[in-house]
Amino acid sequence: MKRDILSYDSVEIDSEGLFIRLIDQTKLPAEFSQLTVKEEETLTDAIKELKVRGAPALGITATSGLCVILKNLDIKTISSYICEFDRLADTIVSIRPTAVNIRNGLVRLKCKLNEAVAKYGDDVYQVHNSVFMEAIAIKNEDIISNIKIAEFGITLLKPGSTILTICNAGHFAVSRYGTALAPVYLANERGMDIKVIACETRPLLQGARLTSYELMMSGIDVTLICDSMAGHILSKGLADALITGCDRIAANGDTANKIGTLSLSIAANYYGIPHYVAGPSSTIDSECSSGNLIKVEERDSYEITDKYFKSSIAPEGVKTYNPAFDITPSELISAIITEKGIFRYPYNFNNDND
């Protein structure tokens, strides 16, 4: 069944702030269902199990999710409110440490909380309202960022070209449209006939399950490949550009993204194919000077050996290593597209861009 994916937000925020509703990405593509989050356990489980995923969607979920939990706790004193805010924020940040949008969003909420306490004192209702409005602003700004990323991104694409991508940096990973896939949606709306080759993205298959699904549902020509086929694709000139998302961009442009991005970037550079990174400036970590300082999330070995297989594909007890992200050095990245424009090496995000 064809579904208008773009008409569903990955993260819907109830206008009263009593719940958020997430598209459960672990069930796709077999089942399209939504999950209602009202309390802490559902939120932390959704983030840990990747029911919601993608750096911007995680930032929106963390901030709006924290607000709905606080609202439902019906806290009476400002000191308890602040205490619970801090505890929840620490818990949420620790679940997925690489995607900086979670931390950046929660730091922004905390600033708003401090400002509101200075203004409203003990009035928990008013303070909470200010914090919740900030969470809504974070989501609305993300929508606008993605539209701008799409506009800047299409200037780098030629009609009829084919884009190679990994993981899912599309609609499901953000508020709306995507980062890496936003220019693809816009280009096709404008008749540029852009095609996509999606790497399956082992071990959690975000490319196979999500990218190929959302593009097919949107009528965009997508071809799914195994990750190991990408070098061959690039060597044969079957892709004109590599476009990926990002989970954290260091101040020097080194970029953390889904595991496998680094190998793709090295291969693309070898064959003279540009690697563009697309992401909102909420993914830039100005406190992190280089990629070496980015903490890479490690996940359970079960994801490599068992998940998505009828039975284990490896001998019981085999040693595994399952980093969820890798870091691409900035010199391999041809351009970084944010809502502020197109930045090029050597990266300085405080400078004007082209």
Q: Which residues bind ligand MRU (CB under 6 A)?
A: 50, 53-56, 99, 167, 169, 173-174, 178-179, 206, 245-247, 257-258, 324
User: For ligand MRU, which is the closer residue by CB, 218 or 257?
Assistant: 257
> Rounded to the nearest 10 degrees, how much is the dihedral formed by the CA atoms of 276, 279, 281, 286?
-70
User: For ligand MRU, which is the closer residue by CB, 131 or 277?
Assistant: 277
**Alpha carbon distance 89, 313 (integer Å):** 37
Task: State the pairing for strand pair 20-23/11-13.
Answer: antiparallel
Residue tagged active-site, from 142, 247, 285, 326: 247
Q: How far is the CB of 99 from ligand MRU (least distance, A)?
A: 6
Q: Are 173 and 10 in contact (CB under 8 A)?
A: yes
**Alpha carbon distance 2, 276 (integer Å):** 30
User: For ligand MRU, which is the closer residue by CB, 55 or 157?
Assistant: 55
Q: How far is the CB of 264 from ligand MRU (least distance, A)?
A: 12
Q: How far is the CB of 76 from ligand MRU (least distance, A)?
A: 36
Q: How far is the CB of 174 from ligand MRU (least distance, A)?
A: 5
Enumerate the H helices of 178-329 as residue ranges: 182-189, 206, 212-217, 230-235, 261-270, 302-305
User: For ligand MRU, which is the closer residue by CB, 145 or 188?
Assistant: 145
**Alpha carbon distance 234, 207 (integer Å):** 17
Chain residue at closest Cβ approach to ligand MRU: 245
**Alpha carbon distance 2, 216 (integer Å):** 8
Q: Are 308 and 230 in contact (CB under 8 A)?
A: no
247 catalytically annotated: yes
Residues forming the active site = 247
